[in-house]
Amino acid sequence: MLKLYIKRFIQNKFALWGISFIFILSSLALFSPFIVPYAPLEQNLLERLQSPSILHLLGTDDLGRDLFSRLIYGSRISLTVGFVAVSIATLFGTFIGLVSGYFGKWIDSTLMRIVDILLCFPTFFLILMVIAFLEPNILNVMIVIGFTSWTGLARLVRGETLSFKEREFILAAKSLGLSTPKILFFHLLPNVSAPILVSATLGVGNAILIESSLSFLGLGVQPPIPSWGNILTTGKDYIHFAWWLSLFPGLCILFTVLAFNLLGEGLRDILDPRSQN
Amino acid sequence: MASNWIRRLFIILYTGVTFTACKQNNNPQLQSSSSLPAYDDTFIESSIGDASYLNPVLASDSASSSINGMVFNGLVKYNAQIQLVGDLAEKWEISKDGLVFTFYLRKNVKWHDGQAFTAEDVLYTFERLIDPEVKTPHSSSYEKVKKVELLDPYTLRILYKEPYVPALESWGIGIIPKHIFKGAKGKEFNEHPANKKPIGTGPYIFKEWRVDEKIALEANPKYFDGRPHIAKYVFRIIPDNAVEFLELRNKSIDTMVLTPDQYHAYPEFFEEYKKYRFPRAAYTYLGFNLNHPIFKEKLVRLALAHALQKKELVQAVLLGMGQSATGPFLPLSWSFNSEVKDFEYNPKLSKQMLQEAGWQDLNQDGILEKDGKNFEFTLMTNQGNKMRALTAEIIQEQLKKVGIKMNIRIVEWSTFIKNFIDKKNFEAIILGWALSPDPDIYNIWHSSQKKDGQYNFVSYQNLEVDALLEEGRKTFDQQKRKEIYRKVHGLVHDDIPYIFLFYPDFLPVVQERFVGPKVVALSSFGFGWNFDKWFVPKNKVRYPLITAQ
Amino acid sequence: MASYLFKRLLTLLPLLLGITFLTFLIMQLAPGKPTDLITDLNAKMSLEAKQKLTKLYGLDRPWPIQYWEWLKRLSKFDFGKSFKDDRPVIHKILERLPATLLLNFLSLSLIFTLAILIGMTAAAKKGALFDKLTTLFVYLGFSIPTFWLALLLMILFGLKIGLLPISGLRSLNFEELNFLQKAWDMLQHLLLPVSVMALTGLAALARYTRSSMLEVLHQDYIRTARAKGLKEREVIFKHAFKNALIPIITLLGLMLPELIGGSFIFETIFAYPGMGRLGFEAIMSRDYPVLMGIGTMVAFLTLLGNLLADMLYALADPRIRYK
């Protein structure tokens, strides 16, 4: 089985490209202290808004900080925002979906009504409101994105759970007297893990994008902490006379989100039991 | 009007663009016939936000104030030299004890709908300002009024409970028409449709308001101070600064207030525009919570004052387009004390002082300690103000050099005020004050103003300053007042409740076809002070009126 | 059909109630009060004057009472008055609703058309170059930060080429134009925002169309149709399309709130006079009645959109019967 997946993976160019990009990016983020030529917060006011050169590969920002170093460090922040938000959403959505689908009855209908209500809300409106009211900082940004983007997954997991819960292996587990949590997490969960994995992969990209949109409205990760979103927002104000300040963070976001999406899309194909060859 | 000014000035740092028309009787110089002033063309301005109430009694935001300033007049206004002169009032008298003001109104003034303006309108405006049900943010300026009496349709007398010098300035507020509001009170007044379709006495007549798009005005041909030349005024709403600048480069707006970086951008961006630069009546400061265990000690504050390099701040944040500050007044104003010497930048001295205060780096980690605790604090500022965020980031680096660890926390405005400023729940802050032409700063520095939600949120207390501020509000003699406020300047500087950082420059550009923009003392409070006297020469009109002229 | 509709409408009520309750709850998180923007750091305003304002706004009462009052007024279709300018919230929303609906309708139509074209063709040519290119294209659109793309296009088409207006919805001389010129003027202004919105929102629907189309193409009746010797084009557009359409319509309904939510960014960057900006300003200035009004309105539109999607669903699939 695993062999088949690996074979499919290698055949899927998009997924391969996505995972390679993400791998390289994660290594850069992990080892950023050893890579960056300058400290990301180190100011050099005499060298503000320098265009790209040998000294500063991608130029400098409005405080003379090295853009390359900031983007490398920013990858840490942006990836963290993406992963943490997605972890929250995945844990929460999976749990709600499993519980809702497995227990059914009033638990199911209550939870699904809540999901319905949340789905009628424009997520971004909700996020904006909560963050503005709490206080925009990196922690709140991650938590709020996480807690507002679990609904789709919950529905998905619920549907899958419903289709599995009357199957023989679950009924057998029940008759053996296994505890409910055991059935849920050791027997049901593995069977619904494929769509969860796909949704989580797509979610990371989405969270990075949401953070940049929040930054545009001034409610994302706050400076001086460099996130790609707030570097791009700063760059936006300089777009007329310092093109590099918006171009590079823009491309960082673009390629990273693209990589996660292509990987997610690839995973969907690869893990889909119906897809042939 | 004056009161509007002040209101607007407090917000000016956030919104940027403000133009008002204050009136002045200087005839534009006439040149050859083709360049004669035309009664034509349109002036297009932009703003980040839309207006709220087109009613000077209710409005407090800068967008509304810009429009109200063109549609309404006050009894008095400031002239180019920042002296109060008559506007709707022809002249006035103030009794010796300062308790009785008598205003003699102009007799030839008509509202835009043709009705005559009388003292009844002034009385009505006043009644709404003190009406407890009216949502006016301006009421406190009129709390000291005992009574307003009408002597005849064009004369009124205002009695005060105690002498209050800024009272005269407060009568610069726009006067609203009683007949339009039909005597509406309270809630009815707050919700009156005329708040969206104002009728005033000013140089421009309200024409149209398309929410979140634009507000359009037209010249008032019967304006008592002379028909304005520029036939139309359009106030466009563009919420993003980068887009606003794009529109400027595209020549689709006629004016904009630039950021220092934009001011220094490629000259070809400003083809057809004239750039201006002059001091703006506002300062940015770093304020300490004086109840904080570390900052209670004056020596520590002094050490910090010596550790900050204001020159570098002005250079980096404003690209040199500003001036370092020493106190709560504008250098141009008569209340400014030029003998106050700024703290010299001297990190060595600073470190020495900190050591004297018990702060030493014993564990060699680069951060000073005292009793085993690091010198670490959090500086807060509001979100959405790039200048302040930059300032904070630079100060962070400067303080690092003397061994102080400063964290930055940027909080959204409303939360910042409610949770941190009002409750005095901060260690240090960066904020700004806009200055009004009158130097009365009682509300900020008097020790009685320390309650939650009041403006002495740093908890400053100096009995000598208290006494001076009380006296300053009651002293009508300008020479004596000057001495009082100069003393205040020196005392506040020496006590270091704030580190006064800098005065940013005002950097407007105006399309070159407009003749009349002039930089005078009053410009610091608003560049469009004489807008109703601006004109475009006939051969340069860009948007000719289609209707027959 | 009528009774089904009625039933569906009834289920909308608890949903709407839930949404308003949630909005109200979130607003209780907020430490700021709407009087802040008027009063704070305005040194000329005394403490008493501030408290007076708080009372006038009715903010000194406990929140359940405030919510109850709000509901009572809502039952009379009264959304209350804005804290910012005392105008009825419903007027403020209705003023901006047409512009928002116009933008969303145009973008949605464009997304729908493009997504179906791309998705179907990609499915028919699965694995071919076209499939790969369009996959990359729709994901590129999805991955680019919208405000950055918008600004780049504004600079390119507005400033450099000078073909399109940069921002806004109408030219300043709009009133002086005749009907056709007006339409042309608005069209020019709408071109950029609609394209950006469509481009960035294309991915989900295009991919979904592709996959549901693929699924349909594996079905027996398609094989039968092919076996009968029908032309491939006929098979795809006549037989497969109709069945693939059903799930697409459902997704369309779900996309509505995202689109309207996305308006915050588009309207701010394009200086477009719509509901998103009203909502954002209301959030920042704690204008509760406006926030509640917008929350309710958006939820209502979404529910309506879902209902509409369900009915279209029925039209596309005669097997579905209303019970």
Number of compact structural domains in chain C: 1
Q: What is the pLDDT of residue B25?
A: 39
Q: Do C298 and A122 touch (CB under 8 A)?
A: yes
Q: What is the pLDDT of residue C151?
A: 95
- Dig out the tokens for B217 from the structure: 């005005």
Q: Do B247 and C167 touch (CB under 8 A)?
A: yes
Q: Which of C29, C42, C100, C152 to mutate to test the interface with B (most CBs of B within 10 A)?
A: C42
* Cβ atoms A270, A3 nearer than 8 A: no
| Structure confidence by residue, pLDDT tens digits, C153-186 | 999 999 999 889 999 889 888 888 889 999 999 9
Q: Which residue of C lies nearest to B189 if distances are taken between CA atoms?
A: C86
Please state, in angstroms and rounded to a whole number, the distance separating the CA atoms of residues B437 and B80: 12
Of these ranges, B226-230, B265-269, C241-245, the one predicted with the greatest mean pLDDT is B226-230
Across the interface, of C151, C261, C268, the residue whose CB is closest to A124 is C261
Between strands B428-434 and B405-411, the pairing is unpaired
The pLDDT confidence band at residue C50, using thresholds 50, 70 and 90, is: low
Q: Do A223 and B393 touch (CB under 8 A)?
A: yes
The pLDDT confidence band at residue B297, using thresholds 50, 70 and 90, is: very high
- Dig out the tokens for C286 from the structure: 């704690």
Please compute the mean of the pLDDT values over residues A244-260 and round it to a whole number: 96
Check pLDDT > 60 for residue A276. no
Across the interface, of B10, B132, B413, the residue whose CB is closest to C42 is B10
Would an 8 Å CB–CB cutoff place C15 in contact with chain A? yes
Q: Cα–Cα distances in Å, from B509 out to A138, B103, B183, B273, B528? A: 38, 38, 42, 6, 12
Q: Is residue A46 part of a domain?
A: no
Q: What is the pLDDT of residue C30?
A: 64
CATH code, domain with A233 = 1.10.3720.10
Q: Is residue A153 part of a domain?
A: yes
Check pLDDT > 70 for residue B8. no
Q: Which of C129, C139, C207 to mutate to test the interface with A (most CBs of A within 10 A)?
A: C139
Q: Is residue C24 part of a domain?
A: no
Between B129 and C282, the higher pLDDT residue: B129
Chain B positions in Cβ-Cβ contact with residue C269 (cut-off 8 Å): 240, 243
Q: What is the pLDDT of residue A4?
A: 81
Q: What is the pLDDT of residue B128?
A: 95
Q: Is residue A99 part of a domain?
A: yes
| Structure confidence by residue, pLDDT tens digits, C179-204 | 999 999 999 999 999 999 999 888 88
Residue ranges making up the domain that contains A248: 2-33+77-271
Please state, in angstroms and rounded to a whole number, the distance separating the CA atoms of residues A138 and A134: 12
Q: Is residue A195 part of a domain?
A: yes
Mean of all residue pLDDT scores within chain A: 88
Q: Is residue A276 part of a domain?
A: no
User: How many A×B Cβ pairs under 8 Å?
Assistant: 65
Q: Which residues of chain B have a Cβ shorter than 8 Å from any chain A Cβ? A: 241-242, 245-246, 249, 259, 261-262, 265-266, 269, 312, 315-316, 383-384, 386, 389-390, 393-394, 396-397, 408-412, 415
Q: What is the largest CA-CA distance in chain A?
A: 75
Q: Is the peptide bond before A224 cis (omega within 30 degrees of 0)?
A: yes
Q: What is the pLDDT of residue C40?
A: 43
Check pLDDT > 80 for residue C147. yes
- Dig out the tokens for B481 from the structure: 């007042």
Q: Which residue of C lies nearest to A149 if distances are taken between CA atoms?
A: C258
Q: Do B210 and C273 touch (CB under 8 A)?
A: yes
Please state, in angstroms and rounded to a whole number, the distance separating the CA atoms of residues B410 and B336: 32
Q: What is the pLDDT of residue A277?
A: 42
* Cβ atoms B229, B223 nearer than 8 A: no
Q: Which residue of C lies nearest to A205 if distances are taken between CA atoms?
A: C143
Between A254 and C215, the higher pLDDT residue: A254
Please state, in angstroms and rounded to a whole number, the distance separating the CA atoms of residues B262 and B318: 11
Phi, psi of B259 (to 5 degrees): -85, 160
Q: How many CB atoms lie within 10 A of CB A46?
A: 9
Across the interface, of B245, B266, B315, the residue whose CB is closest to A45 is B315
Q: Is residue A98 part of a domain?
A: yes
- The backbone region for A169, taken as left when phi is positive above 0, alpha when psi lies in -120 to 50, beta otherwise, is alpha
Check pLDDT > 90 for residue B299. yes
Can you say how many angstroms the Cα of residue A16 is from the centroid of all Cα atoms in its chain?
A: 18
Would an 8 Å CB–CB cutoff place C135 in contact with chain A? yes
Comparing CA positions, the residue from B16, B114, B146, B129 lying closest to residue B74 is: B129
Comparing CA positions, the residue from B520, B526, B455, B432 lying closest to residue B5 is: B526
Q: Is residue C19 part of a domain?
A: no
Residue ranges making up the domain that contains C170: 89-316
Across the interface, of C143, C147, C254, the residue whose CB is closest to A261 is C143
Q: What is the pLDDT of residue C282?
A: 86
Phi, psi of B517 (to 5 degrees): -60, 135
Domain with CATH 3.40.190.10 in chain B: 9-13+37-50+211-277+509-549
Q: Which residue of A lies nearest to B416 if distances are taken between CA atoms?
A: A135
Q: What is the pLDDT of residue A40?
A: 81
The torsion of the CA quartet B23, B25, B30, B34, rounded to 10 degrees, works out to: 30
Q: What is the pLDDT of residue A274?
A: 62
Q: Do B212 and C32 touch (CB under 8 A)?
A: no
Please state, in angstroms and rounded to a whole number, the distance separating the CA atoms of residues A190 and A171: 16
Q: What is the pLDDT of residue C288?
A: 83
Check pLDDT > 70 for residue B13. no
Q: Which of A239, A241, A245 to mutate to test the interface with B (most CBs of B within 10 A)?
A: A241
Between C72 and A68, the higher pLDDT residue: A68
Check pLDDT > 60 for residue B23. no
User: Which CATH number applies to B9-13+37-50+211-277+509-549?
Assistant: 3.40.190.10
Q: Is residue C203 part of a domain?
A: yes
Number of compact structural domains in chain A: 1
User: Which CATH number applies to B282-505?
Assistant: 3.10.105.10
Strand partners, A200: none
Across the interface, of A132, A205, A254, the residue whose CB is closest to C284 is A132
Mean of all residue pLDDT scores within chain C: 81
State percent of chain C over pLDDT 90.
Answer: 20
Region of poorest pLDDT, from B294-303, B519-528, C19-28: C19-28
Region of poorest pLDDT, from A210-224, B330-344, C121-135, C221-235: C221-235
The pLDDT confidence band at residue C306, using thresholds 50, 70 and 90, is: confident
Please state, in angstroms and rounded to a whole number, the distance separating the CA atoms of residues B406 and B392: 9
Between B364 and B177, the higher pLDDT residue: B177
Q: What is the pLDDT of residue C128?
A: 85
* Cβ atoms A71, A59 nearer than 8 A: no
Across the interface, of B312, B389, B412, the residue whose CB is closest to A136 is B412
Q: Is residue A69 part of a domain?
A: no
Q: Is residue A94 part of a domain?
A: yes
Q: What is the pLDDT of residue B26?
A: 43
Please compute the mean of the pLDDT values over residues C302-312 and round it to a whole number: 76
Q: Which residue of C lies nearest to A212 if distances are taken between CA atoms?
A: C145
Which parts of C126-235 fold into alpha helices (H)?
Answer: 129-143, 146-153, 179-217, 220-227, 232-234
Please state, in angstroms and rounded to a whole number, the distance separating the CA atoms of residues B536 and B521: 24
Please state, in angstroms and rounded to a whole number, the distance separating the CA atoms of residues B29 and B412: 48
The pLDDT confidence band at residue C323, using thresholds 50, 70 and 90, is: very low
Q: Do C31 and A133 touch (CB under 8 A)?
A: yes
Between strands B42-47 and B232-237, the pairing is parallel
Between C70 and B325, the higher pLDDT residue: B325
Q: Do A237 and B266 touch (CB under 8 A)?
A: no
Mean of all residue pLDDT scores within chain B: 88
Phi, psi of B190 (to 5 degrees): -60, -35
Q: What is the pLDDT of residue C318?
A: 59
The pLDDT confidence band at residue B295, using thresholds 50, 70 and 90, is: very high
Check pLDDT > 80 for residue B112. yes
Query: What is the pTM for the complete model shown?
Result: 0.88
H or E segment and range at residue B183: none
Please compute the mean of the pLDDT values over residues B335-362 and round it to a whole number: 92
| Structure confidence by residue, pLDDT tens digits, B146-168 | 999 999 999 999 999 999 999 99
| Structure confidence by residue, pLDDT tens digits, B484-512 | 999 999 999 999 999 999 999 999 999 99
The pLDDT confidence band at residue A185, using thresholds 50, 70 and 90, is: confident
- Dig out the tokens for A93 from the structure: 């959505």
| Structure confidence by residue, pLDDT tens digits, A60-98 | 988 889 999 999 999 999 999 999 999 999 999 999 999
Region of poorest pLDDT, from B176-180, B215-219, B430-434: B430-434
Comparing CA positions, the residue from C10, C22, C8 lying closest to residue C295 is: C22
Q: How many CB atoms lie within 10 A of CB A273?
A: 5
Between B409 and B384, the higher pLDDT residue: B409
| Structure confidence by residue, pLDDT tens digits, B416-470 | 887 788 888 899 999 999 888 889 999 899 999 888 778 899 999 999 999 999 9
H or E segment and range at residue B151: strand B145-152
Task: Determine the residue type at B548.
Answer: A
Check pLDDT > 70 for residue B360. yes
Strand partners, A105: none
The pLDDT confidence band at residue C49, using thresholds 50, 70 and 90, is: low
Which residues, 6 or more positions from C22, have their beta carbon under 8 angstroms from its beta carbon? A117, A118, A121
Q: What is the pLDDT of residue B152?
A: 94
Comparing CA positions, the residue from A237, A121, B91, A142 lying closest to residue C302 is: A121
Distance to chain C for A122, nearest Cα, Å: 4
Q: Which of C10, C93, C147 to mutate to test the interface with A (most CBs of A within 10 A)?
A: C147
| Structure confidence by residue, pLDDT tens digits, C102-141 | 998 899 889 989 998 898 888 888 888 898 899 999 999 9
The pLDDT confidence band at residue B17, using thresholds 50, 70 and 90, is: very low
Q: What is the pLDDT of residue B6?
A: 37
Q: Is residue C230 part of a domain?
A: yes
Please compute the mean of the pLDDT values over residues B205-220 and round it to a whole number: 94
The single-letter DSSP state of residue B530 is B
Where are the extended beta strands (E) located within chain C? none
Please state, in angstroms and rounded to a whole number, the distance separating the CA atoms of residues B482 and B524: 20
Domain with CATH 3.10.105.10 in chain B: 282-505
Please compute the mean of the pLDDT values over residues B74-80 and round it to a whole number: 94
CATH code, domain with C288 = 1.10.3720.10
Strand partners, B384: none
ipTM of the predicted structure? 0.90
Q: Which residue of A lies nearest to C266 if distances are taken between CA atoms?
A: A213
Q: Do B433 and C43 touch (CB under 8 A)?
A: yes
Which chains pack against B, by 3+ Cβ pairs within 8 A?
A, C
Q: What is the pLDDT of residue C54?
A: 64
Check pLDDT > 50 for residue B478. yes
Q: Which of B62, B67, B135 to mutate to test the interface with C (most CBs of C within 10 A)?
A: B135
The pLDDT confidence band at residue A225, using thresholds 50, 70 and 90, is: confident
